């Protein structure tokens, strides 16, 4: 499963975001380092279900009237402070948790109500722009440290006659969650000596920076928009980086209200319908929240996850079926499964995602939307419904 990690300063709202997105109970409090051990749970990205193209909506568990929710893993980790790679705050513990993440959501307190250590200050007192870069820097320096610590073993290996620097670096960096393909791409772009003995600190730092950028892309969640000065959010949106305004607390309130049938709301909706069962205080709070949503296009929590997966990681959703006419599995369930795959994936890749046996026994595939057989080279598109014919199925 794809893994998204929530990173950021203490007290920025990571655990609130996590609770809202997974509806799991975790500790949330207005002081730094509330979270010490990482929380790991299932959340979803939202996309349009192909059932919208049919007369009837599907009955899949994760489809809500054509709003399709595809599972991903969400990770909520301890807050990060400047100097973490040297052990400040909770230090490397947090950074090590990121090894398995495919993409990072950097939760920033856009209200300026917490200082660089995450301690509460008056709203607007701290400039949230200062909280953007240090996360990247800490991650880069942390990875550079890993490279440095492993350098001796690369130098040792270089004495062997069949030594290849690309292979040695790929070997070392695979532990960081970088695929050989990603590493090959980075190595093509940077200039470095073939002999590890000649590497300087700058080479290692440049390598770490490039590998980090490619393997851990970051989207910023400009959080607490419900209380943030508008100007703060605007300035964050002007940055030359992906930024999504969010209110994690707002999303949590909406999900709880929807669970209690007080409102109609599906995660990622830009509006809510308030029911008759609410009292005056609840109505006031929900109306305030609806105003915030109208201003920024929703609570942003779903949008941040969607942006991470569909834009930064450039993934698509494909739907394997057994019956190409009914778009169903063998028991008649319409569009029962959805898989996230990188753009450029083929029907064979989809077959392997379903099961390695299905992949090994792959014969051919049918595009169920056009009812045409497709070749092994066919590049899947968002929302494709595919029947895979395999000796294993």
Ligand X SMILES: Nc1nc2c(ncn2[C@@H]2O[C@H](COP(=O)(O)OP(=O)(O)OP(=O)(O)O)[C@@H](O)[C@H]2O)c(=O)[nH]1
Q: Does 93 bind Mg ion (CB under 5 A)?
A: no
Residue 366, both tokens = 């049918």
With vertex at residue 380, the alpha carbon angle to CA 379 and CA 384, rounded to the nearest 5 degrees, is: 155
Closer by beta carbon to ligand X, 10 or else 50 = 10
Q: Does 35 bind ligand X (CB under 6 A)?
A: yes
Closer by beta carbon to ligand X, 122 or else 240 = 122
Helix extents (H) in the chain: 14-22, 92-97, 133-149, 151-157, 165-174, 180-189, 201-215, 230-237, 248-259, 280-296, 301-306, 347-354, 356-360
Among 19, 35, 215, 367, binds Mg ion (CB under 5 A): 35
CB neighbour burial string for 230-255, b if at least 16 within 10 angstroms, e if fewer: eebbebbeeeeebbbbbbbbbbbbbb
Residue listed under structure tokens 């390598």: 207
Q: Residue 317 and residue 228: Cα distance in Å, rounded?
A: 35
Q: Which residues are CB-neighbours of 99 under 8 A, at least 6 positions away?
A: 175, 176, 177
135: left (phi over 0), alpha (psi -120 to 50) or beta: alpha
Among 227, 258, 285, 392, binds ligand X (CB under 6 A): 227
**CA torsion through residues 335, 336, 342, 346, sign:** negative
Q: Residue 64 and residue 164: Cα distance in Å, rounded?
A: 52
Residue 47 interaction partner, one of Mg ion, ligand X, none, beta carbon < 5-8 Å per kind: none
Closer by beta carbon to Mg ion, 34 or else 99 = 34
Closer by beta carbon to ligand X, 79 or else 359 = 79
Closer by beta carbon to Mg ion, 34 or else 182 = 34
Q: Residue 259 and residue 362: Cα distance in Å, rounded?
A: 43
Closer by beta carbon to ligand X, 117 or else 326 = 117
Q: Does 293 bind ligand X (CB under 6 A)?
A: no
* Span interacting with ligand X, options 63-71, 180-188, 222-230, 338-346, rule CB under 6 A: 222-230
Q: Does 34 bind Mg ion (CB under 5 A)?
A: yes
Helix/strand/coil for 239 = coil
Mask: binding to ligand X, 245-264, rule CB under 6 A, as x and -? Answer: --xxxx--------------
Residue 287, both tokens = 């109306």
* Interface with ligand X in residues 161-220 (CB under 6 A): none
Min. distance of Cβ 51 from ligand X in angstroms? 33
Closer by beta carbon to ligand X, 33 or else 163 = 33
Min. distance of Cβ 28 from Mg ion in angstroms? 7
Min. distance of Cβ 10 from ligand X in angstroms? 4
Are 347 and 380 a contacting pair, CB within 8 Å? yes
Q: Does 106 bind ligand X (CB under 6 A)?
A: no
Min. distance of Cβ 15 from Mg ion in angstroms? 3
* Span interacting with ligand X, options 7-15, 62-70, 145-153, 330-338, rule CB under 6 A: 7-15
Are 50 and 319 a contacting pair, CB within 8 Å? yes
**CA torsion through residues 127, 133, 137, 140, sign:** positive
* Interface with Mg ion in residues 7-26 (CB under 5 A): 14-15
Closer by beta carbon to ligand X, 21 or else 147 = 21
Among 2, 28, 63, 263, binds ligand X (CB under 6 A): 28
Min. distance of Cβ 28 from ligand X in angstroms? 4
Chain residue at closest Cβ approach to ligand X = 79
Residues that bind ligand X (CB under 6 A): 8, 10-16, 28-30, 32-35, 78-79, 118, 223-224, 226-227, 247-250
Residues that bind Mg ion (CB under 5 A): 14-15, 34-35
């Amino acid at each position: 499963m794809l893994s998204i990690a929530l990173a950021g300063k203490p007290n920025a709202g990571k655990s609130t975001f996590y609770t809202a997105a997974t509806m799991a109970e975790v500790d949330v409090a207005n002081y730094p380092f509330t979270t010490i051990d990482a929380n790991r749970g299932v959340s979803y990205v939202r996309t349009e279900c192909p059932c919208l193209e049919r007369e009837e909506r599907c009955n899949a568990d994760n489809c809500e009237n054509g709003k399709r929710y595809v599972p991903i893993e969400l990770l909520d980790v301890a807050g990060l402070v400047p100097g973490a790679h040297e052990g400040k705050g909770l230090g490397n513990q947090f950074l090590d948790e990121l090894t398995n993440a495919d993409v990072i959501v950097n939760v920033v307190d856009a209200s300026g109500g917490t200082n660089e250590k995450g301690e509460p200050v008056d709203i607007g007192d701290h400039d949230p722009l200062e909280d953007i870069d240090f996360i990247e820097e800490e991650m880069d320096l942390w990875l550079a440290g890993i490279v440095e610590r492993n350098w001796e073993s690369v130098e040792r290996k270089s004495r062997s006659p069949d030594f290849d620097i690309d292979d040695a670096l790929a070997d070392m960096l695979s532990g960081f969650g970088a695929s050989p393909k990603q590493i090959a791409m980075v190595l093509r772009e940077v200039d470095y000596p073939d002999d590890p003995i000649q590497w300087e600190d700058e080479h290692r730092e440049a390598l770490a920076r490039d590998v980090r950028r490619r393997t851990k892309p970051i989207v910023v969640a400009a959080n607490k928009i419900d209380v943030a000065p508008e100007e703060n959010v605007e300035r964050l949106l002007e940055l030359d980086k992906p930024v999504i305004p969010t209110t994690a607390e707002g999303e949590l309130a909406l999900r709880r209200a929807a669970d209690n049938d007080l409102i109609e709301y599906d995660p990622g909706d830009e509006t809510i319908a308030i029911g008759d069962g609410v009292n005056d205080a609840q109505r006031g709070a929900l109306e305030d929240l609806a105003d915030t949503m109208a201003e920024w296009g929703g609570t942003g929590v779903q949008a941040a996850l969607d942006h991470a997966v569909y834009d930064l990681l450039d993934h698509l959703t494909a739907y394997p079926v057994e019956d190409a006419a009914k778009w169903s599995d063998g028991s008649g369930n319409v569009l029962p499964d959805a898989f996230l795959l990188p753009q450029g994936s083929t029907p064979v890749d989809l077959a392997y995602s379903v099961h390695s046996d299905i992949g090994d026994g792959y014969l051919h595939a049918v595009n169920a939307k056009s009812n045409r057989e497709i070749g092994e080279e066919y590049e899947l598109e968002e929302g494709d419904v595919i029947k895979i014919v395999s000796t294993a199925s």
